[in-house]
Amino acid sequence: MIATADIDVTFSSETMVAYRIVPGLTEPQRTILPIPTPGPDEVLVKVLASGVCHSDVHLLDWSATRPFSQATHTLGHEGAGIVVRLGERVAQETQTLSIGTYVAVLTTNACEQPECSRCSRGFANVCFARPMLGIGADGSWAEYVVARASTVVPVPGNNPKSERLSPSVVAAATDAVMTPWHGLKRAARVRAGQTVLIFGCGGLGINAIQIAKNVLGAGAVIACDIREESLTIARSLGADYAIPPSALKALLEEKGLAVDVAVDLVGKQVTLDAAMDVVRTGGVILLLGLGDDAVSVNPLAVTTKQLTISGSFGGDFQDLEECLRAIDEGKVVPEVENRPLDECAQVIKDLAAGRIRTRIALVPQ
Ligand SMILES: [Zn+2]
Ligand SMILES: [Zn+2]
């Protein structure tokens, strides 16, 4: 593979800027760290863009009860960049990666051991045997990030100047595209012709609409959000209907639609209740959002409608490869805005306050 033109893979310094989470502090802390050295099975990636996610808001909100332990580490679980150093074994054994390869970085750091009950059964996306990058281990809100070679996915075309697969889009692919991709395709198993309802048309929802419609062939996609601006975007991205929750029941009645799969990207009691209410008998509720610490379900409703409640988290190597291909083919067009890495604390505040309408990617200066 030819080294990517115009990207500097030399080092002008031995240190880098990184934004870290520190237990008890609610703002990411700007820190100068040595540029890390990749281990034998790792690569060093020069970060070109790294996404900001509601999970980061949750991580920095120490009042929330979350299952991931949080020692001090660099944030950022949606990285895109260029391989600039190869670990010893990677240099000898890996054909697909070389200096200059443009990659997306998987946050899930699956162990890939044959005896792992998750990795060996198709659940590498939820193998937490090793801490996830940016959620436990050092992530990509930094100038450089180290990742295992088996967790970086080469970007089709190897061109960071590409419009369709710009670094910020590739960063979004690692979570905002891949999470709904895995959920819709592999957990809820959406089939052609089905009616899919999507609650929450923010960073993930706008991609869920396109995946359901353009990749999985849903017959009708209904986008539901309380924000009028998000509904406008949902319409422009191909949602057949885009309405506030208050108008949902009337719409289903008027159009004679029955919801086969209701996707909850919010994960709050109010959205789960609404999903339970409208999904058809025998339908699927796909839970992707992590809004409330706990939600309850009415057993009578679940049993008498014979519902399947399905959960999904992140995705694996194959999902990310497929997402990048779908973006390259123009089937999914993630909406992403760039902000400088140094503005990450403000971006977190804006996201927590609902002021971000799509997705933000941080760009190191
Ligand atoms: Zn995320
Ligand atoms: Zn595993």
Coil vs helix vs strand at 199: strand
Pairing mode, strands 15-21 and 73-74: antiparallel
Structure tokens at 26: 């609610």
What domains are defined for the chain? Answer: 15-177+315-363 (3.90.180.10), 189-311 (3.40.50.720)
- CA–centroid distance, residue 315 to ligand 2 (Å): 13
User: Letter for the amino acid at 15?
Assistant: T
DSSP code string of 68-122: S---SEE--SSEEEEEEEE-HHHHHH-SS--TT-EEEE-S------TT-TTGGGT
Question: How far does residue 139's CA lie from ligand 1's centre (Å)?
Answer: 12
Which amino acid is present at 305? K
Output the CA 126–ligand 2 centroid distance in Å: 8
pLDDT for 2 equals 43
Structure-token pair, residue 67: 């299952």
What secondary structure does DSSP assign to 17-67, as a single string?
EEEEE-TT-SSPEEEEEEPPPP-TTEEEEEEEEEEE-HHHHHHH-TTS--S
**Nearest bound ligand to CA 116?**
2
Q: How far is the CA of 135 from the centre of ligand 1 (A)?
A: 9
Distance 107 CA to ligand 2 centre (A): 14
Between the CA of 196 and the centroid of ligand 1 the distance, in Å, is 22
Whole-number pLDDT of residue 8:
60
pLDDT tens for the chain, residues 1 to 365: 444 445 566 777 899 999 999 988 999 999 999 999 999 999 999 999 999 998 899 889 877 666 566 689 999 999 999 999 999 999 999 889 999 999 999 999 999 999 999 999 999 999 999 999 999 999 999 999 999 999 999 999 999 999 999 999 999 999 999 999 999 999 999 999 999 999 999 889 999 999 999 999 999 999 999 999 999 999 999 999 999 999 999 999 999 999 999 999 999 999 999 999 999 999 999 999 988 889 999 999 999 999 999 999 999 999 999 999 999 999 999 999 999 999 999 999 999 998 887 899 999 98
Interval between CA 249 and ligand 1 midpoint (Å): 31
Pairing outcome for strands 195-199 and 220-224: parallel
Q: Which ligand is nearest to the CA of 351?
A: 1
- SS3 percent helix, strand, coil of the chain, rounded to 5, is 30, 25, 45
Interval between CA 29 and ligand 1 midpoint (Å): 19
Cα angle vertex 212, ends 211, 214, to 5°? 65
Structure tokens at 289: 């959002």
CA distance 144 to 165: 20
Does residue 182 contact residue 209 with C-beta atoms inside 8 Å?
A: no
C-alpha 9 to ligand 2 mean position (Å): 32
Ligand 2 is an ion; residues with CB less than 5 A from it: 110-111, 116, 118-119, 127, 129
Report the separation in Å between the CA atom of 125 and the middle of ligand 2, taken as the mean of its atom positions. Answer: 9
Instruction: Point out the ligand nearest to the CA of residue 203.
Output: 1
CA of 211 to the centre of ligand 1 (A): 18
Of the candidates 295, 245, 294, the one whose C-alpha atom is nearest the C-alpha of residue 274 is 245
**Which-ligand-closest: CA of 117?**
2
Q: What is the pLDDT of residue 3?
A: 45
Ligand 1 centroid–CA 271 distance in Å is 20
Angle at 167 between CA 162 and CA 169, to 5 degrees: 90
The alpha carbon of 310 and the centre of ligand 2 are apart by a number of angstroms equal to 21
Give residue 359 CA to ligand 1 midpoint distance, Å.
11
Provide the pairing of β-strand 195-199 with 132-133.
Answer: unpaired
Question: First and final CA of the chain: distance in angstroms?
Answer: 27
Q: Cα(111) to centroid of ligand 2, in Å?
A: 4
Which of these, 307, 334, 355, lies nearest to 208 by C-alpha position?
334
